[in-house]
Structure 1
Amino acid sequence: MRGPALSSLALSAAEEDGFQPPTISETHLPEIFPWMAEWGTGFGKNMLMAILAVLLIWWLFSAGIRKQALVPGRGQFLAEGAYAFVRNTIGRDILGDKHFKPWIPLLFTVFFFVLFNNLFGAIPGLQMPTFSHAGPAYAMAALVWITWVVLGFKLHGAKFMKLMTVPSGVPKPLLIILTPLEFLSNFVIRPLTHSLRLMAVMLAGHIIVMLCGSGAEFLITQQEGVLNTGLGIAILLGSVPLYFLELIMMVLQAFVFALLTAIYIQGSIEADAH
């Protein structure tokens, strides 16, 4: 009964020209170049921002390391510090001194690509995190999933499947239950949670921004009275700390995504360590 009741209230509000909160469908902007209209897809804002992120990363780090001075300037210092953060905090600390070096380019790319696309949601005019949509998040998680699965089979052969699905030291009767669960956990649930965690946080932040903006606009421009105007202004002021909280979550989610990437790769490398 709750669902129909809420739907009736929303319809009544719409008929009375009341406040109409933004919906998830409104986050899907029209495609810039729709080439498969029947499937509702094409070249859209998300794809444009993904390309923009690649260009910005290339330009910023190329400019930062162009001079390569012994005493680094501000740009070189920031570029080297960013690289060192990924290299040491994510790469070496997770993969270990023996294995981390070949994976630094991947981890560096994953971290900064996700970070830049997340930060687009905090820039006026762009105001949409690329990964607030499931498609880009699924694509990133799929690339990581393919990487660690292929690596596992390359290092361990067919034994990798057993290492990832058959727990050691478990009584054989329990393996009937645990083996399918381990398979689902490692090969199905892991990539889904890797992507949906990022998408859900970015989408939630984006919806909050839309809700605050539309609610404040409705109270200030479409409602009469000092109280409604003051409430609208209060919502705008209250959205400021939410904005900075969203910034923190954008950086944190990029770090978590890259960190999990390193953990999954480390799991493939040392699958038979036990």
Structure 2
Amino acid sequence: MLASILAPTLPATECPSGEFCGPSVEEFFPEPLLFIGTPFEMNRVLLIRMLVVVILILVFWVGTRNLKVVPGRAQVVFEVITGFVRNSIIISTLGEKNGRRFMPLLFTIFFLTLGLNLTGIIPGLQIASTGLIGMPIIMAVVAYVVFIYAGLKQHGLRYFKNQLILPGVPIVLTPFLALLEFLSTFILRPITLTLRLTMNMVAGHMLLVLCFLATHFFFFTVLAQGNALGLLGIGTFAFGIAFTLLELFVAALQAYVFTILTAIYIQFSVADEH
């Protein structure tokens, strides 16, 4: 039973018999499985992404198709989660008018990020595809385009002046501070959105794989040879469970952070003052 749970976390590259092999970033680049040799080639990571999208569509379809005045347990859970995103992230940051305007985008960002993050702790999947930088880049670019669009829609070309020129700053310092504001607003924002999500997911995946690979090694290699050191697998397994719970928290936290930062950037763009 334990072997079947731990087996999917084994490295893609072959490990010499009787030796311990740690995790590798190569796990984020598995071999193609479908449509090999075509422009539509798909590997395990892409299939997991498609699975997450399908599950999210089903969850929202089932959750909204038969809403009742007196909700059942499933509807209560659904409304609590969606209500938290709506009220605590979107409306509280953007207000009612702009919150409704950008709600579809922010809902999509939150639940897609959450779903892709959570696959890193699901047995049989065990990889968060947000650990591949491509997906975070796409979402960061979308957020980047939207907050610039929101600013231009609200203020026209004056938006760039509002973002770059700080009121009340001595004219001698204005060019220097304008450069800093440009770097901060138009360069660093998408970069930090991307790297924060990617690095957290990569680090979490590596910790989990390290713990469960070590458990597999101690139980099924060391202990199987009659060496009592194999009992160390109990400790590595306990750490693996603890890090799984931590990764569950990090998955939700990173979805929250990415979404609320996007909402904050939009709010900065539409605000009347810097």
Partner of residue 177, structure 1 = 176
* 3-state SS, counterpart of residue 172 of structure 2: helix
Q: Secondary structure at the match of 1:148?
A: helix
Give the aligned partner of residue 50 of structure 1. 49
Q: What is the CA deviation profile of residues 47-93 of structure 1, one whole-angstrom value per residue up to 9, with x for unaligned ones?
A: 22222222111211211222222111222222222221111101111
Instruction: Please state whether the residue corresponding to 2:32 is helix, strand or coil.
Output: coil
Greater CA deviation, 252-261 or 162-171? 162-171
**CA deviation map 1:207-236 (0-9, x unaligned):** 111111222222333334543211122211
Q: Distance in 2 between matches of 1:207 and 1:178?
A: 40
CA contact (8 A) 1:86 1:104 kept: no
- In terms of mean alpha carbon deviation, does 84-93 or 170-179 score higher? 170-179
Deviation at 1:181, TM superposition (A): 1.6
**Superposition deviation, residue 42 in structure 1:** 4.0
Instruction: Tell me, yes or no, if the aligned pair for 2:18 and 2:221 is still in contact at 8 Å.
Output: no
Query: TM (normalized to structure 2)?
Result: 0.86
What residue is the counterpart of 1:31 in the other structure? Answer: 32
- Number of equivalences: 257
Counterparts of 1:186-205 in structure 2 under 5 Å?
186-205=185-204
- The Cα shift of 1:16 comes to 10
Runs ≥4 residues deviating over 6 A: 14-17
Aligned AA for 1:240? Answer: I
Question: Structure 1: how far apart are the matches of 2:50 and 2:177?
Answer: 43
Percent identity of paired positions between Structure 1 and Structure 2: 37
Q: Compare relative contact order (CA 8 Å, sep 6+) and give the higher one, 1 or 2.
A: 2
Hey, what does 1:239 align to over in structure 2? 240
Q: Give SS of 2:96's match.
A: coil
Q: For residue 205 of structure 2, what is the aligned residue in structure 1?
A: 206
| Residue of structure 2 equivalent to 1:9 | none
**Quick check: 2:28–2:45 contact (8 Å CA) kept in 1?**
no
Two-structure CA RMSD over aligned residues (Å): 2.1
Distance 1:189 1:165 in 2: 14
Q: Structure 1 19/161 Cα, relative in aligned 2: closer, same or farther at 3 Å?
A: same
- Identify unmatched segments of 5+ residues in structure 2: 1-14
Match of 2:270 in 1: 269
Letter in 2 for 1:177: F
- Quick check: 1:113 aligned with 2:112? yes
Structure-2 residue corresponding to 1:250:
251
Provide the residue aligned with 1:128 in structure 2: 127
* Corresponding residue for residue 63 of structure 2: 64
Following TM superposition, by how much is the alpha carbon of 1:267 offset from its aligned partner in structure 2, in angstroms?
Answer: 1.0
Q: State the one-letter code of the partner of 2:231.
A: G
- 1:156 counterpart residue number: 155
Q: Does the 8 Å contact 2:131/2:202 carry over to 1?
A: yes
Secondary structure of 1:100's counterpart equals: helix
**Secondary structure of 1:60's partner?**
helix
Contact 2:162–2:273, Cα closer than 8 Å, also in 1: no
Match of 1:219 in 2: 218
Q: Is the 8 A contact 2:30 2:45 kept in 1?
A: no
Secondary structure of the residue aligned to 2:30 is coil
Alpha-carbon distance change, 237 to 70 in structure 1, aligned in 2, over 3 angstroms: same
Structure 2 counterpart of 1:3: none
Residues in 1 aligned to 2:70 and 2:188: alpha-carbon distance in whole angstroms: 47
Q: For residues 234 and 155 of structure 1, do their structure 2 counterparts lie closer, same or farther at Cα, with a shift above 3 Å needed?
A: same
- Write the letter of the residue equivalent to 2:108: T
> Who is 2:261 aligned against?
260
What's the CA shift string for 1:146-193, capped at 9, x where partnerless? 111111112211111122222222112212322222111111111010
Query: Structure 1: which 5+ runs fail to align?
Result: 1-13
- Distance (Å, rounded) in 2 between the aligned partners of 1:26 and 1:57: 25
The alpha carbon displacement at 1:126 in A equals: 0.7
What is the letter of the counterpart of residue 197 of structure 1? Answer: R
SS in 1 for 2:127: coil
Q: Is the 8 A contact 1:132 1:203 kept in 2?
A: yes
